[in-house]
Structure 1
Amino acid sequence: MTTARITELEAEHDELVLPAFDHADAWRLGGIITAAALSAGHRVAIDIRRPGLVLFRAALAGTTPDQEAWIAAKARTVLRLETSSALAAERFAQSGVDAAGMGWLPFPEYALAGGSVPVRVAGTGVVAAVTASGLSSDDDHALVVAGLRELIRLW
């Protein structure tokens, strides 16, 4: 938990903005992340959702029901705070606030762990959360960020 890490995550937040995002884009993004995970041999689950609606889901070999719980909690954090779960976790840690312990973001309903990133559309804001679970928090986050960067590159 460093100021440098928060600066890096804030820069990602500003960088990862799409011109649009619909159901087809969710499948495209999900496919990009899934292909990268398969290529690397990762045992992860990948989820893209809007409030109340799952747009994409993949559970690769080796995943467990535990990943479902983490995906739901990390995505709920993103959709509530409109920032990545990694950035939220770093900000709370740096400020010394125990958001879970004080009941504001109680676990297991919310998770302050990396791996979920908001899907932000220019001129609109956050429209979905894309989440990976199964690796370390940092690696889940990096997998999602790489997928968003690839989708933006292909746009």
Structure 2
Amino acid sequence: MAIEDDISRVAEQERVLRFDGFDLARAWSLGARVRQFSQERGHVLAIDIRINGMQAFYAAMPEARPDFEHWIYRKRNTVQRFLRSSYAIGLELKAAQTTLEEKWGLPTAEYAAHGGAFPIRVNGVGCIGVITVSGLPQREDHNLVVEALAAELGLDHASLRLA
């Protein structure tokens, strides 16, 4: 699939995957869903959900490495800066053959345009948080987050998933 198709699909995911309301209970439900999917599939990863900068959920699967937390931090920073998924930013940069540092002067120690972080948006409000996973290849990190968001919202994941 062409990168332009992925960029378009991720934009559609960002348009559709929005909540009518999101609170600590919803963060727990969403995080537990990602953890359940990961446990069932034997994934080794870490999960972080933030609401307005506050950590609302965190879990690390058995054998997770401390480095996953640093990746979460960097991917989350990217979403908070651009209010877009970290994978969308990475795809757009790849298509333009540039980097975060070249285009915006953002240091790679603080920002990562790799899949796995997705904005939590509330209809009528905007972006109020970020869900981030780290540990799988970036496309799989992104797809896992999209799958969990779709399930939490009662939407068909198959129609949103990247190939």
TM range (shorter): over 0.9
Alignment of 1:1-150 (within 5 A): 2-101=3-102, 104-150=105-151
Percent identity, aligned pairs only, is 35
Match of 2:153 in 1: 152
| Deviation of the 1:72 alpha carbon | 0.6
DSSP-derived class of the 2:94 partner? helix
DSSP-derived class of the 2:100 partner? coil
| Deviation of the 1:50 alpha carbon | 3.0
DSSP-derived class of the 1:24 partner? helix
Structure 1's unaligned 5+ residue stretches are none
| CA distance in 1 between partners of 2:19 and 2:52 (Å) | 19
Deviation per residue, 1:35-75 (Å, 9 max, x gap): 00000000010000134311100001011110000001001
| CA distance in 2 between partners of 1:77 and 1:10 (Å) | 16
| CA distance in 2 between partners of 1:100 and 1:71 (Å) | 18
Match of 2:160 in 1: none
Q: Is the 8 A contact 1:118 1:126 kept in 2?
A: yes
| CA distance in 2 between partners of 1:118 and 1:102 (Å) | 21
DSSP-derived class of the 1:37 partner? helix
Q: Which runs of 4+ in 1 moved over 6 A?
A: none
| Deviation of the 1:105 alpha carbon | 2.3
| CA distance in 2 between partners of 1:74 and 1:119 (Å) | 14
DSSP-derived class of the 1:56 partner? strand
| Deviation of the 1:104 alpha carbon | 2.4
Structure 2's unaligned 5+ residue stretches are 156-163
Deviation per residue, 1:100-144 (Å, 9 max, x gap): 245622112010100000001101111110010000000111111
| CA distance in 2 between partners of 1:139 and 1:23 (Å) | 26
Between 145-154 and 97-106, report the one with greater CA deviation: 97-106
Counterpart residue identity of residue 114, structure 1: G
Counterpart residue identity of residue 111, structure 1: A
Instruction: Go from structure 1 to structure 2 and tell me whether the alpha carbon gap of 1:88 and 1:50 turns closer, same or farther (over 3 Å shift).
Output: same
